[in-house]
Homo-oligomer: A and B are copies of this chain.
C-alpha cells in the first residue's frame, strides 16, 4: 500500500477515484473568450450582484459548488469533506462562500496551483476510503486580485507586456468512488522552485521552473513520457511561461510540441482580448479544467489528461521586501476509462 516511494513524488491512486461532477463559472471577459461555451454559468455583471469584489469572488465559489452539487443531484450534507482555497488574504473567498454549507472544510493555500492541490486532496481522501464524496473548489476574481496584488482599478495603471490577466472564474469537482468513467489516476506533488525571478509582473517565468520540475518528476516517477498523454496542460503560465516550459523540456529530452498547452493561453484570445501574456489566477486552471477539459474527456475527444497547476507563492509584502518568487506545481493524471 506504500504508493509513494523514497525520493519519488508521485502517488498512484489504486482505487481510481472518479470525478462525478464538475462546474465552471466565469465573468464577462471569460464569456467573450474562445472557451465561452464551456462554462456552466457566466455573468455579464462582474460584481455578480455583490457589494464588494471579495464578496463577488465568494459568490463565484458558491455558484461553482452549488452547480456541481446540483448536477450530481446531492445535498451539501452528502459531501463529506471539501478542500478549497483562493488568492485573497486569509482565503476569505473560500471561507465566506462555505460558511453556511456545514460541509467539513479543510482550507488550502497553493496560490494558482489550488485546483490541482484540492483535486489531489479530494482524490486522496476518497481513494483511502476516508470519505465517499469530496469536493475540490477554488476561484479568482480580476478585480479583487488587482487591488490586492497590484493597484486599485480606478488608478488606471499601465500593465507590462509580461503581465497576465487574472481570470474571474471558479471551478469545482466532486470526487467519489464510482459513478463516472473519468478517473483520477495519479498525482505528483511538487516542491518549491525559486530561481530568483523577482518581477511580480512576470509570473509565467517565475512559475515555469516549478512546472518543469514537476513534469519531469512525473515522467520519471511513472516511467512515462509526454506521448502517453493526449493533452498536457499547465494552469496559468501564459505565453511566456509556456514557451520556457517547451524549450526547457526539449533540452531535457521531452517533446511537448504536439500536445501541450496552457490554460492561460486557452481561456482568452491573446491577440484580441488585451490580456497581454494570457490568463492567470486560481480560477484560470480551475474553470478550464472543470469546463472545457472535462467536456473533452466526457466526449472522448481526449482520454488521457495531465493537468499541472502552478502557483506563485509570493505576497505583495515579500515583493516589497525584495524577495524572489517561490513557485510550485502539482500534477494530476485524469483519464477517461470504460
Residues of A within 8 A of B (CB): 1-4, 6-7, 9, 11, 52, 54-55, 77-78, 80-81, 85, 87-92, 95-96, 98-111, 117, 120-121, 124-125, 127-132, 189-192, 194, 313-318, 321, 323, 326, 328, 330
Task: Name the one of B1, B81, B90 contacting A315, with C-beta atoms under 8 angstroms.
Answer: B90
With A11-B130, A189-B81 as known contacts, state yes or no: A96 contacts B326, CB within 8 Å: yes
Are B108 and A2 touching (Cβ within 8 A)? no
Assembled-state Cα–Cα distance A11/B2 (Å): 20
Q: What residues on B are CB-neighbors of A111 within 8 Å?
A: 90, 107
Closest to A85 in B: B109
Q: What residues on B are CB-neighbors of A315 within 8 Å?
A: 88-90, 92
Chain B min CB distance to A252 (Å): 18
Q: What residues on B are CB-neighbors of A11 within 8 Å?
A: 130
Are A318 and B129 touching (Cβ within 8 A)? no
Closest to A55 in B: B321
Task: Name the one of B2, B85, B95, B128 contacting A124, with C-beta atoms under 8 angstroms.
Answer: B128
Are B109 and A191 touching (Cβ within 8 A)? no
Are A98 and B7 touching (Cβ within 8 A)? no
25 A-B contact pairs sorted by A residue (CB < 8 Å): A1-B129, A4-B81, A4-B130, A4-B132, A6-B132, A52-B321, A54-B318, A88-B317, A89-B90, A89-B316, A89-B317, A92-B314, A96-B318, A99-B326, A100-B194, A101-B191, A102-B191, A103-B191, A104-B191, A105-B189, A105-B191, A106-B120, A107-B109, A128-B128, A128-B130
Are B96 and A323 touching (Cβ within 8 A)? yes
Chain B min CB distance to A117 (Å): 6
Are B189 and A3 touching (Cβ within 8 A)? no
Are B191 and A317 touching (Cβ within 8 A)? no
Closest to A102 in B: B191
Q: What residues on B are CB-neighbors of A85 within 8 Å?
A: 107, 109
With A90-B315, A106-B189, A189-B81 as known contacts, state yes or no: A2 contacts B129, CB within 8 Å: yes
With A2-B132, A189-B81 as known contacts, state yes or no: A328 contacts B105, CB within 8 Å: yes
Assembled-state Cα–Cα distance A108/B65 (Å): 20
Are B92 and A317 touching (Cβ within 8 A)? yes
Assembled-state Cα–Cα distance A16/B165 (Å): 46
Task: Name the one of B54, B55, B99, B131 contacting A192, with C-beta atoms under 8 angstroms.
Answer: B99
Identify the interface centre among A9, A129, A190, A315: most chain B CB within 10 Å of its CB: A315
Assembled-state Cα–Cα distance A78/B5 (Å): 10
Are A4 and B106 touching (Cβ within 8 A)? no
In addition to A91-B313, A95-B192, 5 A-B residue pairs with Cβ atoms within 8 Å of each other are: A2-B132, A89-B89, A105-B192, A107-B111, A121-B121
Chain B min CB distance to A276 (Å): 22
Q: What residues on B are CB-neighbors of A189 within 8 Å?
A: 81, 104-106
Chain B min CB distance to A235 (Å): 15
Assembled-state Cα–Cα distance A131/B91 (Å): 28
Assembled-state Cα–Cα distance A85/B114 (Å): 14
Q: What residues on B are CB-neighbors of A328 within 8 Å?
A: 95, 105, 107
Q: What residues on B are CB-neighbors of A54 within 8 Å?
A: 317-318, 321
Assembled-state Cα–Cα distance A194/B129 (Å): 30
